[in-house]
Amino acid sequence: MTQSTLEVSHLYTSFFSERGEIKAVQDVSMRIGKGQVVGVVGESGCGKSMVARSIMGLIKKPGKIVSGSILLDGQELTSLGENELCKIRGKDVSMVFQEPMTSLNPTMRVGLQVQEVVSIHENVSKEEARQRTLAILSAVGIPEVKERYNAYPHELSGGLRQRVMIAMAMVMRPRLLIADEPTTALDATVEAQIIALLRQLADNGTSVLIISHNLGVIAQLADHVYVMYAGHVVESASVFELFDNPLHPYTLGLLRAVSSLRSQSKVLQTIPGIVPNLAHLPVGCSFAPRCDKCMARCTSTQPELVAVGSGHEVRCHLTKRVDAQ
């Protein structure tokens, strides 16, 4: 198998609070090939952003990566210090954060914010950094770039602000771009434009990790999908396989919720119950208390992630292991 751009293996990230250890990420493994788009879905609080922040080296106290490995083109990131991570962040790996308004500096013109990324990572003249900034702002579809370069974040619409964030993340042509809910705050037209932009980026060789609640966004963009629940990957498969042959009861629940929204059905199908408290996870399968297929074993033994076919893995006692083909 060719080397992946990103290879996360058995990652555990926790927050240590007075209430105990909050296990935000547990035994997460994922790989992303060059130019591949990989999606992560799951309900709020299931650990999606913490996986992203772990990769970026942005887990702050009281949180920490407890164990596991994160390789970027073969380089181990978990053992790097803050100075080394700063050189990689924004240049080799960049992230579009979930909250664009809080991630942009409200007191600085947006053009200068993008330009600063170039100046930090490369020894180029101010004029060259400015030209590169104008080029990337225009590449992400910002009209009248010269005027917009001088705008402050609050003077731009949500869609334009998100484009500035993406321009900032793309300006150094990173090997990996992580987009955490990049379209949640946007209307459907702008969402479609941002999706097309991310797809184009991947077609030019950048690997993309896209995090979203929205299975529709994932279906349009991702090649491969990881479904997360309570800090764990519970299912992973190619996007076609996941939508054609979902096996984990949680994935089935997520898909049913989407199809009931789309259909004329008056009954909105939801998954009963809520995501468990990550400081007090149930013994056995974390999804068991909400699962309509729960068996005695599910409440006593934690299921392992098993391969059920080529590139398809499921963490459920109902699923039979199939030896890798």
Ligand X SMILES: Nc1ncnc2c1ncn2[C@@H]1O[C@H](COP(=O)(O)OP(=O)(O)OP(=O)(O)O)[C@@H](O)[C@H]1O
Tell which residue, 132, 46, 56, 129, has the closest CA to residue 87: 56
Q: Which is nearer to ligand X, 274 or 283 (CB)?
A: 274
| Cβ contact 202:37 at 8 Å | yes
Q: Which is nearer to Mg ion, 181 or 241 (CB)?
A: 181
* Residue 197 engages ligand X in binding (rule: CB under 6 A): no
* Residue 278 engages ligand X in binding (rule: CB under 6 A): yes
Q: Which string of x and - marks every residue 70-109 that binds Mg ion (by CB under 5 A)?
A: ----------------------------------------
Of residues 6, 11, 22, 234, which one binds ligand X by CB under 6 A? Answer: 22
Scan residues 48-67 and list those touching Mg ion (CB under 5 A).
49
Q: Which does 123 bind (CB under 5 to 8 A by kind): Mg ion, ligand X, none?
A: none
Of residues 31, 38, 41, 47, which one binds ligand X by CB under 6 A? Answer: 47
Q: Which stretch binds ligand X (CB under 6 A): 45-53, 131-139, 197-205, 313-321?
A: 45-53
Closest approach, Cβ 180 to Mg ion, in A, equals: 6
Tell which residue, 20, 99, 9, has the closest CA to residue 54: 9
* Residue 17 engages ligand X in binding (rule: CB under 6 A): yes
Of residues 48, 148, 175, 224, which one binds ligand X by CB under 6 A? Answer: 48
Q: Which stretch binds ligand X (CB under 6 A): 31-39, 47-55, 73-81, 197-205?
A: 47-55
Q: Which stretch binds Mg ion (CB under 5 A): 25-33, 43-51, 233-241, 268-276?
A: 43-51
For residue 76, how many C-alpha atoms fall within 13 Å in the half-sphere facing its CB?
9
* Residue 24 engages ligand X in binding (rule: CB under 6 A): yes
Question: Tokens for 31?
Answer: 């790989």
CB count in 10 Å sphere of residue 36: 18
Q: Which is nearer to ligand X, 43 or 73 (CB)?
A: 43
Q: Which is nearer to Mg ion, 49 or 206 (CB)?
A: 49
* Residue 50 engages ligand X in binding (rule: CB under 6 A): yes
Q: Which does 30 bind (CB under 5 to 8 A by kind): Mg ion, ligand X, none?
A: none
Closest approach, Cβ 26 to Mg ion, in A, equals: 16
Closest approach, Cβ 49 to ligand X, in A, equals: 3
What is the SS3 assignment for the chain? CCCCCEEEEEEEEEEEECCEEEEEEEEEEEEECCCCEEEEECCCCCCHHHHHHHHHCCCCCCEEEEEEEEEECCEECCCCCHHHHHHHECCCEEEECCCHHHHCCCCCCHHHHHHHHHHHHCCCCHHHHHHHHHHHHHHCCCCCHHHHHCCCHHHCCHHHHHHHHHHHHHCCCCCEEEEECCCCCCCHHHHHHHHHHHHHHHHCCCEEEEECCCHHHHHHHCCEEEEEECCEEEEEEEHHHHHHCCCCHHHHHHHHHHHHHHCCCCCCCCCCCCCCCCCCCCCCCCCHHHCCCCCHHHHCCCCCCEEEECCEEECCCCCCCCCCC
* Residue 15 engages ligand X in binding (rule: CB under 6 A): yes
* Residue 206 engages Mg ion in binding (rule: CB under 5 A): no
Give contact residues for ligand X (rule: CB under 6 A). Answer: 15, 17, 22, 24, 42, 44-50, 63, 98, 213, 278
Give contact residues for Mg ion (rule: CB under 5 A). Answer: 49
